[in-house]
Amino acid sequence: MMTDALSAYLLCICWYLYEESTEPLKLHYRPRSHLNVGSWSLEQYSDVYCREHFRFIKDDLHRLAMLLRLPEMLRLEDGPQIPRMEGLCVTLYRLAYPGRFKEMKFVFQRPLRDLSRIVKKMVALVSAKWSCKMSWNDNLLLPTYLETCAQAVSRRLLQDGFSLQDQQPDIALFIDTAFRPTATTPIVAQEEVFSTRTHVHDSKFIGVCSPDGLMVALRGPYPAASGEKKALEESNILPDLREKCRGVNNRQLVAYSDKGYSQFDVIQIPHIGQLTANQREENRAMASVRMVIERSFGHTTTLFPFNDYRENLKLLLSSQVHIYYYVSTFFANLHTCFYGSECSRYFDLEPPSVEEYLS
């Protein structure tokens, strides 16, 4: 009798496990006729949901779609027309979490093929229209803005108990290198993309950040195996710093970096060699404020972890791998303009409005 009851109990458990294991298959392979195509609307979501999944609240999403000057309808090749708000939210949802299109199709009520093409279309469109904001934002990096940045850095150092020497050039920006993970084949491009620093396959980007947390210049990608000096030469960032990183009365301002870079007339690095007590104190103080560039890189991957998921970034299968990172950084800058960032609060420096940033 006990054996029969135990057998029945085990049979129930097995049936339950079978149902649990097949439920995802039933969900993912639901027929297309079950999709209510074209029924998606942003208004059905709360601001909490929008902030979590799209990174912006509803009103700011509407404002963003207008300011980005996106077309009212996006025409897909051999496919339907998509409203711009839906296209923007599909792209932000995809970048905000490395989820699968099979899960997204029930959120947006679109077939997989359309979702993939929407993301590619939007990323290419945003990159084509606004790549100038990531190369060097001339309309933002004016002498008055750079002077404000230099004053914010000096003020923060003073609050930390250290003031820069009068003869030392003013530091307005920060520069560093970011390594982004990529997937490659075991045969092609191994040596070029393998980083001896991280011991994985990476692409290298050079970023310039302001104290308010905005990534004001982003260059790359460059082979992970190349040195910092070669990447700097290829990026042409030094001529831009010499020509455009100037304050009021054409005063030359500089960017600060870590010991991975060499000393240049427009790039300041920590003191090395036999150090005096004052130089050690200066290195300590500058190490604290230099973290703004690390936080800015981290802000992008925190908001849009798609760029940190290696399996999505296949170099030989997509020419848009680096474009995803540019567009994600651009959206992270817009997020900073809307809501501020840890960096802007640390330096007590209000970022520009989104209108000023996109002007």
Query: What's the burial of 305, exposed, middle or buried (CB within 10 Å: 0-12/13-18/19+)?
Result: middle
Return all residues near 323 (Cβ < 8 A) that are at least 6 apart: 123, 124, 127
Alpha carbons 190 and 225: distance in angstroms, whole number: 10
CB 212 within 8 A of CB 145: no
Alpha carbons 205 and 353: distance in angstroms, whole number: 26
Q: What is the pLDDT of residue 24?
A: 42
CB 230 within 8 A of CB 217: no
Element (H, E) at 108: helix 101-108
Token pair for residue 280? 């050690």
| pLDDT band (50, 70, 90) for residue 5 | low
* Between 194 and 275, the higher pLDDT residue: 275
Alpha carbons 275 and 262: distance in angstroms, whole number: 17
Return all residues near 192 (Cβ < 8 A) that are at least 6 apart: 223, 224, 225
Helices (H), 219-311: 228-235, 237-244, 277-303
Calculate mean pLDDT across residues 184-204: 63
Q: Which of 25-34, 135-144, 243-252, 317-326 has the lowest mean pLDDT?
A: 25-34
Q: What is the pLDDT of residue 16?
A: 46
Peptide bond into 169 cis (omega under 30): no
Of all residues in the chain, what percent carry a pLDDT higher than 90? 47
Q: Is the pLDDT of residue 23 over 60?
A: no
Q: Which of 59, 60, 119, 61 is nearest to 85 (CA)?
A: 61
Phi-psi region of 55 (alpha: psi -120 to 50; beta: other; left: phi over 0): left
Q: Could you report the per-residue pLDDT of 80-90, keeping only the tens digit for each?
A: 899 999 999 99
The highest-confidence range among 53-57, 191-195, 279-283, 317-321, by mean pLDDT, is: 53-57
What is the SS3 assignment for 19? helix
Alpha carbons 288 and 281: distance in angstroms, whole number: 11
Query: What's the burial of 155, exposed, middle or buried (CB within 10 Å: 0-12/13-18/19+)?
Result: middle
Alpha carbons 306 and 174: distance in angstroms, whole number: 25
Alpha carbons 210 and 174: distance in angstroms, whole number: 6
Q: Is the pLDDT of residue 8 over 60?
A: no
Element (H, E) at 161: none
Q: What is the pLDDT of residue 63?
A: 95
Alpha carbons 293 and 213: distance in angstroms, whole number: 8
